[in-house]
Amino acid sequence: MGEQRTVTTRERIIEAAAELLADGGIDAVSTRAVAAAAGVQAPALYRLFGDKQGLLDAVTAHGFERYLMAKKAVAPSDDPVEDLRRGWDLHVEFGLTHPAFYVLMYGVPQPGRRPTAADDAYRLLVGILERVAEGGRLKVPVETAASIVHATNTGVTLSLISAEEKDPDVSTRTRDMVLASITTDELPQEDTTLSARALALDSTLNRQTHPLSPAEAALLRDWLHRLASN
């Protein structure tokens, strides 16, 4: 049998803060309450996190890690557009299941203090959209599509969290409208549009090695984006 890993004081404090957050919202996460729940003295908390904001940053990172684990547990299918739908629904489900975590993660922006797991989660979205583009089914550049999906998915989730009466159809309808605006409904035929071909090549440049210099690749991508917008 393998040895059990010892939980560190830092992990114990984060878990205690996370439980307080889930039970009572951000107002329940006071340094005194967290120290008592974790069974440590206040100086230990300040030594590890600096101040309350440092603790909240750690709890936010913890929330993103939980979210990322849920996202990675879903195996990709053969249809990347369907994966986008599932990813949207999983995002909303996580927010409604863990509202206090979600509001701390997405409702309280902290410029320059973005957890690594948040970037990893965003890259998962970009990866799915690159698969959509490679299949000739994306109507806009990957970066644009990622910004649209992320902004609307987050906005819908925050809106549902704050709503007194939650209407699940709001998320479904918004999802379908957003995906319809950035993707094609069916797999393209041999005579696929110039726009779709340009976006597919643009995505391929991001994912595969090529002999172009960075300046040449940037110029080519600029041309491809101009072709895609016409």
What was the pLDDT predicted at 190? 47
The CA distance from 202 to 223, in Å, is: 10
Q: Which domain holds residue 99?
A: 62-187
87/19 same-domain check: no
Tell me the residue type at 125. L
The CA distance from 65 to 16, in Å, is: 16
DSSP-H helix ranges across the chain: 9-24, 31-38, 42-49, 52-72, 80-97, 99-102, 116-134, 142-162, 168-182, 194-207, 214-228
31/85 same-domain check: no
103/164 same-domain check: yes
The CA distance from 200 to 202, in Å, is: 5
**For residue 194, what are its two tokens?**
């110039």
Q: What is the mean pLDDT of each run of 10 residues along the chain (230 residues)?
A: 65 92 87 92 91 89 88 89 95 92 82 78 93 89 94 96 88 95 71 65 67 73 71
Domain assignment present for residue 149? The answer is yes
Per-residue DSSP letter, 183? B
The tens digit of pLDDT for each residue in 38-84 reads: 999 989 999 999 988 889 889 888 888 888 888 888 888 999 999 99
Tell me the residue type at 203. S
Domain assignment present for residue 68? The answer is yes
Domain assignment present for residue 56? The answer is no
Per-residue DSSP letter, 91? H
197/162 same-domain check: no
181/123 same-domain check: yes
Structurally, how many domains does the chain consist of?
A: 3
46/66 same-domain check: no
By residue count, the chain amounts to: 230
User: Do residues 161 and 154 lie in contact, with contact meaning Cβ atoms separated by under 8 Å?
Assistant: no
143/226 same-domain check: no
125/162 same-domain check: yes
The CA distance from 96 to 67, in Å, is: 12
What was the pLDDT predicted at 222? 76
**For residue 40, what are its two tokens?**
């440590």
The Cβ of residue 74 has, within 10 Å, a number of other Cβ atoms equal to 12
